[in-house]
Amino acid sequence: MSSLRLLLVQVLLLLLLVELGWTLVSDEEWAQYKAKYNKHYKYKDNFHRAIYDRRVQVIADHNQRYSQGLEAFKMGISQYSDTDQSTLYSYRTSITPPTEEVTKGVKEPANYKHYDEITGGIDWRDYGYISEVGNQGTQCLSCWAFSSSGVIEAHLAKKNGKLVPLSPKHFVDCVPYPNQGCNLGWVSIAFNYVRQFGTATKASFPYQPKKDECHWDPKNSAGTIRGHVTLTEGDEKELAEVVYNIGPVAVSIDHLHEEFDLYFGGILKIPSCGSTKDDLTHSVLVVGFGTHPKWGDYWLIKNSFGTSWGESGYFKLARNANNMCGVATLPQYPLV
């Protein structure tokens, strides 16, 4: 039985148990969860409660193994704990990944260290180049706008010595097709837009999880880019070199897995993750990397699920683990 069919059977069984009043989660606990994350279900309350109820048990079972040192990451409750994210993608128009040639001839900065020369790791948050974690919302697939604005603002901050948070909402409203606002998009399309029209500050375009009409005057631009670089597909050593020597890199991953929804800290490993371009569903920002004494190498990644998810909005993903979840499949950064 496929994992999707098994999940459906489990949810149907739990729906029956909910109807019969046989649940792990009390009415009070369910009400508290919905209030905390501002959830309102007029017709599908029992459906989402069934998912939540099952995941409470999944979390408990997993964390028992984590406490015994058998798992590299722990799980916890988040705004996604009552939602199967794959259903959000099932009815969205598919956007084919753009054809991106590997960028050649990029000049290496002074004192560039190659992979074998790098000891330890790096965390660009320590340099003041990374803005606060945002929250795209559970119904707006605008991750591409957050990673695009995040990587551009980081490189501009590194160049100018001052961090000016940029606006994901500007990108949601204004970056044209094939990007589709809250219905997915690609970082490179946003890069091309900024090269031509510039970008707005976060303060001037506050985020809302919806797409509105574009109202933008390039004269108000807070910055622009000269172009962007696409790294070699699947080369984690090259990705680490660039992150270490040049700065954060926007990447896309396969995130439609329960382990990702429930991640709460540690080094994430998902054996069923895909790594082809067609598997990529979620855009995020690599801000560093390091090595854990027991669990090995990891990427340090900024997400856009708010600070109550993961490690205050960040996650560590297994590095040098056969391109885990496609982290090195389509890495890109802007030229500023």
- Are the beta carbons of 290 and 263 closer than 8 angstroms? no
- Are the beta carbons of 146 and 251 closer than 8 angstroms? no
Please give the Cα distance from 280 to 66 (Å, whole number): 28
Backbone dihedral angles phi then psi of residue 40, each to the nearest 5 degrees: -135, 115
The beta-carbon contacts of 178-182 under 8 Å, at least 24 apart in sequence, are: 178/95, 178/96, 178/98, 179/95, 179/144, 180/93, 180/95, 180/211, 181/140, 181/142, 181/211, 182/139, 182/140, 182/141, 182/142, 182/209, 182/210, 182/211
Please give the Cα distance from 98 to 85 (Å, whole number): 23
- H/E segment holding residue 300: strand 296-302
Cα distances (Å, whole numbers) of residue 123 to 207, 294, 308: 26, 20, 21
Cα diameter, the chain: 68
- Are the beta carbons of 273 and 257 closer than 8 angstroms? yes
Q: Is 324 helix (H, G, I), strand (E, B) or coil?
A: helix
Given the residues 62, 170, 282, 325, the one annotated as active site = 282
Place of tokens 């990891």: 298
Q: 282 an active-site residue? A: yes
Please give the Cα distance from 289 to 296 (Å, whole number): 11
Q: 143 an active-site residue? A: yes
Radius of gyration over alpha carbons of the chain, in Å?
20
Q: 255 an active-site residue? A: no
Please give the Cα distance from 7 to 17 (Å, whole number): 15
Given the residues 48, 62, 140, 143, the one annotated as active site = 143
Given the residues 179, 192, 303, 323, the one annotated as active site = 303
Residue type, 249: V
Q: Annotated catalytic sites, by residue?
A: 143, 282, 303
